[in-house]
Structures are given as structure tokens and as C-alpha cells.
Amino acid sequence: MTRVFRVLRAAYARNPFDGEGAYRYGGRWSSPGTRLVYTSEHQSLAMLEYFVHLDPEDAPDDLVLATADVPDNLSREQLHPRELPAHWRETPAPPALAQIGDEFVKKAEACLLLVASALAVNENNWLINPQHLEFRKIAVHAPEPLRYDPRMFRRGRVRKH
């Protein structure tokens, strides 16, 4: 069993694993109109993935951490960085990446797609197809309040030696 993590606003926490955000807005690994749940294999990676999109002047105070337990025998595919386009870590993401996720969902051969994080390439994000038949085997837990350490938003940090 592996626990996966995602950070989101409390307003969207009623069904944190329904893929609605990706469906509406798309993401690095999916186009708008494709339902995919973006999760990370570590809480710290989930927080980092969310943090890079925050406005430090207007950081939300209503974040939650959603978790789910994924059985080890769930069907999965894994993409290694060497299999990806040369500039896969760029922002904005190359359109070829969204095509990969869109095709993964359309094929529906596996419930999980493990991809390296563009922020920490030795760690994985776990993309979940919530429409796959095996999705029901994932145990979703109630979201819990989450706060980033205020030091992460300090401007003009002084380096200590």
C-alpha cells in the first residue's frame, strides 16, 4: 500500500480525487476535458508542487492535504525521464506531455501513471485515472487542514553562515 498526497483549496475538498480541476483547466500531463488526479508520493513533494503556483503576496489560508491509500496491485504505467521529450521540465510544459496523459486516460489500460516531478526528478507524481475500474480500490481519507511555514514566504531572506 502506498499513500499519495495532494494539496488543494478547502472549497474543492469535497471530492479531492475526482479529477475536476484537471478536467476544467488541464495541467502539465493533461488537457482541459481530461479527468486526471494529480498526486505525489510524498507530502513534501505535494506541497512543493502546489507552492510553485502560489502568489507569495496572496497565499491562501484555506489549504487542505488530501491523502489516499493505493493498493500495490493496482495497474500502473511508469514513464522515466529518458522516455520524455528533451524539454519536458520547461514551463509552460510542452504540449506533448498533455497528449501523453490524455492518451493514458483514453486507453484506460492502467489506473496509475507514475511520472517524474519536473521539480524533483528523482521523485514521482502519481497520476490517477478516476474513471478506471480499479479506482474504487483506492481508499480516500478525509482532507486535513494544511499551512505552509511562514518562513517560506519571507522576502529578502538573510543568509546565516
Which residues does residue 118 pair with via DSSP β-bridges, in sequence order? none
Residue among 87, 126, 146, 148 nearest 4 (CA)? 126
Please compute the mean of the pLDDT values over residues 76-86 and round it to a whole number.
93
Structural contact between residues 17 and 75, judged by C-beta atoms closer than 8 angstroms: no
- Residue 119, pLDDT above cutoff 70: yes
Tell me the C-alpha distance between 30 and 15, whole Å: 19
| Beta pairing partners, 144 | 65
Provide, rounded to the nearest whole percent, the portion of the chain with pLDDT above 70.
Answer: 96
- Walk me through the domains of the chain, giving residue ranges and CATH numbers: 2-153 (3.90.175)
Mean pLDDT of 12-27: 93
Average pLDDT over residues 48-69: 87
Average pLDDT over residues 43-58: 86
| CA pair distance 150, 140, nearest whole angstrom | 29
* pTM over cut 0.75: yes
Task: Tell me the mean pLDDT in the region 27-43.
Answer: 96
Q: Are 100 and 89 in contact (CB under 8 A)?
A: no
Question: For the chain, how big is the Rg over CA atoms in Å?
Answer: 16
